[in-house]
A and B are shown apart, each in its own frame.
Chain A
């Protein structure tokens, strides 16, 4: 088991280095450097330009900049934002809880609906329900997040007034200092009545928007995995034993069908992060996605590099966790 884990861990190291290299190069390929973005029509005197570039380390040869950057990261130093002068790590972890809260809610939404929906579709294979569900899941999977988000805002928030438009809490009614950064927890900790309900209310639309793609994936995955399991001998045996259909499906079939679904959920953490970038922008959700978008606009190299590295590290670790967990659930993988 330990060897399996160590092997997996060792495999992540080259991935990290590749990521460091790609983020470093990619942002430098975008035209315009941080100084140019800061300077407008006015232009800048050559002396001041040279001074700026020196202070930001941009006058160093690129290989040296890359070496310093890798050296910094190996020592846990992700640098300081060129815009706010704050440590990238501090900024990241101030905003990260908002992204986690949103992603977690979206995943919960996707699994709570996706698994039962997929299971029922498998059981009623070929029925109208199955066909409708699979059609919907194709639509959900190919849904452009930006369009979907704006559509829901217009329909649900503006027209029907069922939810707030954006943000995490009603700014006029409630005010409390963040303690954990998770609005649901902070609103509970605050003694302000109704704050938790309001925070929950604000979470609904972004949760649905971000959860739509994983929902489609989970539903499809559950269905196909379930179909496979339903034709297994042990399910037939269970049926033959005279167990109730609910017990056969719920206890015997579904539990076994869930193994690949768990893997898919783990793998979707990466795409959730990608989706969060858009969802956060539409819903003014102060998470790392929105922060990274702004960092690109401002050519804030350290924030962007550090931010992408931290997000990637988390995605890789989650996947590693899933791999290991998978090994625990299914011993055949370990030996494979």
Chain B
């Protein structure tokens, strides 16, 4: 082969390799449902805002993509002391901050100072950024971080020591949550000096797989791939969030190729999307539970048989079919099946009105009797129509001689009264925060059974509660799993509530989108996602 030919072939090969990047950058468009409040998860509470911040940041530890397993993030490894009160983190070296954003040129890599800065902003009132952007750190407060943390110090730039006031196994899951995103202290100092602190939460700098490019309010958020990212690199060059609040418009855009991934299609559109060869539905059961709580403080619900009878009296499959319209699965445990420690051996109460009647008689309850049935006045992620469910329950209860009186209040008032225990039976539900089972099982713990507490059943079972407390202080996952499995058996037998459903979360995407792993926690991640 002549030299010229060889050179030509070499050039052609080089061009072929370069082609996709050189000729047209790959852009992934995500049709999201709303505008973020800003880009600092710690000061926000909505999934929309977390989704918008997620491409930008990393946490000390992270949830493995598509699961609730906690894996190393900015901390390469960690060690928990024997008493469970001290966690020592070894931080990753050589992690670069996004450069060139808002005139910021980092002079150093990520280190322990950034971690301390990020937590202290939410924790210490005297922190220079404590009051910026409203200064409300809801998740930090809700996860009891202020009470759990005793101190966060560094022994050197890459060794961080976190001391707790009491051992707490779910802490690692808390640290993987969005609010625990790590920010650049150097960037914060730069803005502080320039007197532009408020820009910190609007123009974000992180260490994540994508860096921030621009946000046009209510229209679009742009990111570009971070070539220096420390983990699994982004497979597309640009990421665009096209803010499209109307689900019908999102579906149309998806069909027209104006976006590649769309959040939450209308349930009615799902069958059609499934049939379309150019599109796909990506779904998973949501990290939530809809339940119907029986107030054990009020007769006849102090009797186990009555509670079990009510479980058997309701035709659950029909509720799932007619109210959830295919976007829900019947629940038998408090936690959804995607969560570790789910006890699949528990057998749900079958629909059996005759047996229910028998049990009521056995418990000495004379029918006809009357109960209150409270339902939420609003739609929730785990319950599309509490009123409709209440009506169906009412009809089912009539068959066993129980007259249910439907009751509701304004939403805030509803929660307040139900937590006070004013109801005899009430529907409610829960959406998990951190993928730790404790974040669900605490709902039936004794500390929540006081008036005003979150345990709407007011049921306080010593065995259950002892195990709950023990599991919280046990770092070993296998040991915790065993405890949680037993707790599910007790809770099923005692039946302080009827578990209604876990909703199924649907998203839609174009057929050539690959690598997307839906998070059981409900968030959206676009690293590792490609367009073929």
Contacts and interface: CB of A to CB of B under 8 A. Distances in A.
Interface of A: 31-33, 36, 38-43, 48, 52, 55, 82-85, 91, 94-95, 98, 150, 153-154, 157-158, 161, 164-168, 170-172, 175, 177-178, 281-284, 286-287, 290-291, 294
B458 to A, nearest CB: 15
Which secondary structure characterizes the binding site on chain B?
mixed
Interface in B406-450: 410-412, 415-416, 419, 428-431
B185 interface: no
A41 B253 contact: no
Given A32-B411, A294-B35, A283 B429 contact: no
Contacts of A286: 216-219, 243
B372 interface: no
Contacts of A165: 249, 252-253, 256, 258
A41 B414 CA distance: 10
5 contacts: A41-B415, A158-B252, A166-B244, A166-B258, A284-B245
Given A38-B45, A38-B138, A290-B245, A32 B410 contact: yes
Interface string B460-477: 000000000000000000
Contact of B411 (A31, A82, A158, A282): A31
Interface string B98-117: 00000000000000000000
Nearest to B43: A85
Nearest to B220: A171
B45, B249, B410 — most chain A CB neighbours (10 Å): B249
A294 B133 contact: no
Given A153-B252, A172-B29, A175-B222, A85 B216 contact: no
Contacts of A282: 246, 249
Decide if the interface of chain A is mainly helix, strand, loop or mixed: loop
A95 B216 CA distance: 9
B256 A158 contact: yes
B37 interface: yes
B190 to A, nearest CB: 20
Nearest to B36: A84
Contacts of B419: 43
B255 interface: yes
B242 interface: yes
Nearest to A280: B218
Contact of A52 (B133, B136, B240, B429): B136
Given A42-B454, A83-B37, A95 B217 contact: yes
A29 B256 CA distance: 42
Contacts of A40: 45, 431
Contacts of B219: 98, 167-168, 284, 286
A12 to B, nearest CB: 30
Nearest to A38: B45
Contact of A171 (B29, B37, B38, B249): B29
B248 interface: yes
Contacts of B37: 83-84
Given A41-B430, A157-B252, A31 B29 contact: no
Contacts of A294: 34-35, 218, 245
B134 interface: yes
Interface string B25-45: 001010000110110000001
B133 A85 contact: yes
B34 A36 contact: no
Given A41-B429, A157-B256, A167-B258, A172 B27 contact: yes
Contact of A41 (B198, B214, B255, B428): B428
Contact of A166 (B29, B249, B410): B249
B461 to A, nearest CB: 22
B126 interface: no
Given A164-B256, A286-B219, A172 B249 contact: no
A32 B240 contact: no
B288 to A, nearest CB: 9
Contacts of A150: 248
Given A48-B141, A85-B198, A32 B412 contact: yes
A284 B136 contact: no
B198 A153 contact: no
B142 interface: yes
A91 B138 contact: no
